[in-house]
Amino acid sequence: IMKKIYPILMLIAGFFLSGCSEYQMKTYETNGRINFTATNEYGQETDRVEDLVYEKNFGTMPPARLYDTMVIEVKVQGNITDYPRKVAFKVEPENSGIEVVCPEEYYVPADAYKAAFKVLVKRVELLDTVLEAQLTFDYAHSDFQAGTDERQQYALTCYDVITIDLVNMSMVYWNYFYKRYLGTWSNVKARFIIQTLGVTDFLAWRPYIQSDAVVLKKALEEYKADSANPPLYDETQLPEKVWISFD
């Protein structure tokens, strides 16, 4: 009798164990968790908080470029699945002044525990102001739950700032080679040069200074003639409101 009962008990036990295992697997997969990760300067994967950062100065980017591309890397915590899972992002706080555009829907592929996505960071509108925000997961539109607390946000720092160092220039060099054609240095003037000519490396620009000075003077005259344009005051002359010039 025992010989007959033993296989039956094994079959029943196997059934329950199999069912329990399958249920736990499905639950784990359904409640998959996700974290941000990154690649450091040495090409190594890292999830340190200090590496989960994005910083961009749009001031030194050609004015025709309205967006910068940011690569986001994510890593699944737990089992992989045989089907793709959706992941979405959002910026907090919403009124930070930093706008991230997702041009498509993103999915962690089937049988994968890592993925990288490209999002677009819009050029900030406020000048000479540092804006800060956090890129986080939008779990309301994702197929994941939150993973480790410290890996749930990407620090965003964006600004549009111009300084003499950022455009590869020094005051000594400017005064010696450029002043005779473009007048005294000012950050506001440098921004106008970048927006008009698309020049961001002022040192490499030297061979074209004389001819471009004529272009800049004409462009500034046209700019001033349009009353809809905000004034471009030389910050080195404040509190007096003196327009920049190329004299």
Q: Quick one: what percent of the chain has pLDDT higher than 70? A: 87
Tokens of 68: 């910068």
What is the band of 44 on the pLDDT scale with cuts at 50, 70, 90? confident
- Contact by Cβ (8 Å): 143, 35: no
pLDDT at 29 over 50: no
Q: Quick one: what percent of the chain has pLDDT higher than 90? A: 72
pTM: predicted TM-score of the whole model, two decimal places: 0.73
Question: Averaged over 4-19, what is the pLDDT?
Answer: 47
Average pLDDT, the chain: 87
- Contact by Cβ (8 Å): 133, 91: yes
The predicted structure's pLDDT at residue 31:
57
Residue keyed to tokens 């540092």: 130
The predicted structure's pLDDT at residue 12:
47
What is the band of 1 on the pLDDT scale with cuts at 50, 70, 90? low
Higher-pLDDT residue of 27 and 155 is 155
Distance CA 141, CA 86 (A): 8
Contacts of residue 136, Cβ cutoff 8 Å, sequence gap at least 6: 89, 90, 91, 92, 152, 153, 154
The predicted structure's pLDDT at residue 222:
95
Ranges 35-39, 42-46, 53-57, 193-197: which has the least confidence: 42-46
Question: Averaged over 150-163, what is the pLDDT?
Answer: 94
The predicted structure's pLDDT at residue 144:
95
DSSP lists the bridge partners of residue 36 as 74
The predicted structure's pLDDT at residue 23:
37
Please write the tens of the pLDDT for every residue from 116-152.
999 999 999 888 899 999 999 999 999 999 999 999 9
Please write the tens of the pLDDT for every residue from 78-114.
888 999 999 999 999 999 999 999 999 999 999 999 9
User: How far is CA 54 from each of CA 116, 132, 200, 211, rounded to the nearest angstrom?
Assistant: 15, 10, 21, 38
What is the band of 63 on the pLDDT scale with cuts at 50, 70, 90? confident
- Contact by Cβ (8 Å): 168, 201: yes
Please write the tens of the pLDDT for every residue from 188-228.
999 999 989 988 899 999 999 999 999 999 999 999 999 99
The predicted structure's pLDDT at residue 72:
96
Ranges 43-47, 61-65, 147-151, 238-242: which has the least confidence: 61-65
